Amino acid sequence: MCGIAGFINHSLREEDKKELNYKLLKAIIHRGPENSSVWCEGIVSLGQNRLKIIDLSDEANQPFDYMDLVIIFNGEIYNYIEVREELIKKGYKFRTKGDTEVIGAAYKEWGESCVTRFIGMWAIAIWDQTQKKLFCSRDRFGIKPFYYITKDKDLYFASEYKALKQLPNFDASLNESQIQRGITMTWAVYKDETYYRSIKNLMPAHNLVYQNGKISISKYWDIDFSQSKSELSWEDKKDQFYSLFTESIKLHSRSDVQNGTCLSGGLDSSAIVSVYSTLFPDLPIKSFSIYYEGANSVDERPFVREVVNKYSNIEPYYFTPSDQDIADSFHNVAYHADVPLLGSSYLSQYFLMQLAKSKGVTVVLDGQGSDEYLGGYLHSFYRLLAQDVSEMNISDAIRTYSNHLSREHFGLGKSFGIAAKSLASLFSDENRMYNLELSRKDSFFKKHASISFENKTIDRVDNFLYHLLFNSTLQTLLHFEDRNSMAFSLESRVPFLNHKLVEFAFSLNNSDKINSKAETKYILRESLRKVLPQAVYERKDKKGFVTPGEVKWLNGPLKFLLDIDYDRLSFMNGSLVKNEVEKYKNGDTSNAAFVWRVACVHYWIINFN
């Protein structure tokens, strides 16, 4: 795990290129404090800050020379051993034991398509000295970041905004459309757009090639919706899911440093820890949990302890941030985030990563991704009910609807709301649904943003899950997962995002993911029943990473955020925003999440622009 920065510049002298690249690297030194190196030749400069995870020798430092290639790389290729063995059979020899050299050999053997053979997370840049070509790639799900700026025939790229902001004459013009999406939709990124007009985001599963002064971007992988649904029996489906998930845990556990796990007590993190403990029963495993006590707080320790009590090799650690911890750490969390803090849960995640690092761990396994492709979010039901009705499965729709209301204990008002939104899903495509959501706060903005996603399949549920995964919710979660872990030079791995597992999940029927009893993530729950604690297996509530931030913290240790200079929010209708903030100050917390996001956008603009 590392931080990378590089560029192609046609005017700077070599010594100036090196100086500039070290300046970029210094801004993200937290991503890899164990070595910082720069390589320059001609128009190219490549640099890397290294965090040693696999092959701890200095010989594996980057930029890494392989034949006529120079490589910088952020991430992990989990199946590097298998790929290396395949390459050895083809006559390749290796001088290191890590994955970077495997990337070089794979590129020499298979060219740009080499990334389709990798299982992992990555942001890669390879300078091909013979072809005078820069090849860059980002992993299938966007777990590792890759941002870039183009100026005439020059190209600059890095792992974080803060590195690119070191460039001379950096254009700090804000992308007001993305700010609106952030405040309304809580998105950190939208397609290739970022919070700055000048900075672009290389999208998941895309390659970028620079050659002869021209840039080309192409997609190298996607979910294939043309394939028919799996015809396996339910028992075979469960076995296949368990096998794929177990294999993913094995791959994600590979490292030469100490691993640990995040453990919230929910189904996803408990699944990871339970399988990890089952696979390695003699390996001490440190787990890390954040909790809160008091009124309106969520304390998941009873479920965490169910996992800990079932597996004796787990060594649990807990932490609850005090008000003083929140006040003291807020600025640092906001600095590392690169974007406004779009929810208070990201502060909890920061403390979780801090706890892991304080206990000597360098790699943690975390549960991001499962909700997005296994139907874990309750708004998946709108699309499921609409899909059942569109296929004339009326009895199935009624049964699922009734069980959903009963399971969640919804009242009459909420029941009507679900029916209305399901009806909207029946007659509106995903774009219209997203834009309706975005328009709810239109009055607060002087200009109005828009959202446009491709309809990938006629199945409403799969289409919805696809965009959760690649375009909306998950991309934001991964953004903060990366920033909060790397703030402590900690590598966070997400084993649910193994593309073989995801491909299999999309081959399943909707009923395999959400059954008629309104149980979400059904295939995950049933596949792992034999290893999950009974109390966790039987959990049907959906908590998320709940914190008391938008009310308790914003009225307490973070009250200073409400001192807003509305002139600095020039893209918003100041009088309307001020009225909403004043209502909040006077005790009306019904719109607390919106006030939080506005306050955090203001703080970000004041302090980091």
45-57 pLDDT per residue, tens: 999 999 999 889 9
pLDDT at 416: 87
Beta carbons within 8 Å of 309's beta carbon, 6+ residues apart? 533
Question: Which tens digits make up the pLDDT trace of 477-522?
Answer: 999 999 999 999 999 999 999 999 999 999 999 999 999 899 999 9
Across 257-273, average pLDDT: 96
Across 272-298, average pLDDT: 93
Contact 571, 447 (CB under 8 A): yes
What are the backbone angles phi and psi of residue 41, rounded to the nearest 5°?
-160, 125
pLDDT bin (cut points 50, 70, 90) of residue 544 is low
Beta carbons within 8 Å of 362's beta carbon, 6+ residues apart? 51, 53, 255, 257, 258, 259, 489, 490, 491
What are the C-alpha distances in Å from 111 to residues 127, 139, 142, 210? 12, 16, 21, 15
Contact 511, 467 (CB under 8 A): no
Decide if pLDDT at 542 tops 70: no
Across 390-414, average pLDDT: 88
pLDDT bin (cut points 50, 70, 90) of residue 546 is low
pLDDT at 417: 87
3-state secondary structure of 235: helix
DSSP one-letter string for 443-508: GGBSS----------S-HHHHHHHHHHHTSHHHHHHHHHHHHHHTTT-EEE-GGG-HHHHHHHHTS
What are the backbone angles phi and psi of residue 157, rounded to the nearest 5°?
-145, 155
Let me know the angle formed at the C-alpha of 367 by 365 and 370, rounded to the nearest 5 degrees.
145
Mean pLDDT of the residues in the chain: 95
Question: Which tens digits make up the pLDDT trace of 342-366?
Answer: 999 999 999 999 999 999 999 999 9
Rounded to an integer, what distance in angstroms lies between the CA atom of residue 480 and that of residue 501? 23
- Sheet of 44-50: strand order equals 35-41, 44-50, 2-8, 154-158, 147-151, 200-201
Decide if pLDDT at 87 tops 60: yes
Q: Is the peptide bond before 204 cis (omega within 30 degrees of 0)?
A: no
Bridge pairing between strands 200-201 and 147-151: antiparallel
Residues 478, 484, 490, 496: is their CA dihedral positive or negative? Answer: negative
pLDDT at 60: 87
Give residue limits of the domains in the chain.
Answer: 2-219, 234-373+478-537, 379-470, 549-608
Contact 79, 66 (CB under 8 A): no
Decide if pLDDT at 105 tops 70: yes
Contact 260, 356 (CB under 8 A): yes
Decide if pLDDT at 545 tops 80: no
Decide if pLDDT at 543 tops 80: no
Decide if pLDDT at 295 tops 80: no
Question: Which tens digits make up the pLDDT trace of 519-535?
Answer: 999 999 999 999 999 99
Decide if pLDDT at 594 tops 90: yes
Rounded to an integer, what distance in angstroms lies between the CA atom of residue 198 and that of residue 390? 43
Among 23-27, 296-300, 320-324, 385-389, whose mean pLDDT is lowest?
296-300
Contact 65, 59 (CB under 8 A): no
CATH for 234-373+478-537, options being 3.40.50.620, 3.40.630.150, 3.40.710.10, 3.30.465.10: 3.40.50.620
- CATH 3.60.20.10, domain 2-219, yes or no: yes
Identify the CA nearest to 501 among candidates 363, 383, 379, 369: 369
Catalytic residues: 2
> For residue 86, what is the DSSP state?
H
What are the backbone angles phi and psi of residue 185, rounded to the nearest 5°?
-105, -5
Burial bucket for residue 266 (CB in 10 Å: 0-12, 13-18, 19+): buried
pLDDT bin (cut points 50, 70, 90) of residue 247 is very high
Nearest 10 degrees: Cα torsion 263, 264, 267, 271:
0
> For residue 196, what is the DSSP state?
B
Identify the CA nearest to 129 among candidates 88, 69, 169, 176: 69
pLDDT bin (cut points 50, 70, 90) of residue 8 is very high
pTM of the model: 0.96
pLDDT at 280: 97
pLDDT at 524: 98
Across 569-590, average pLDDT: 97
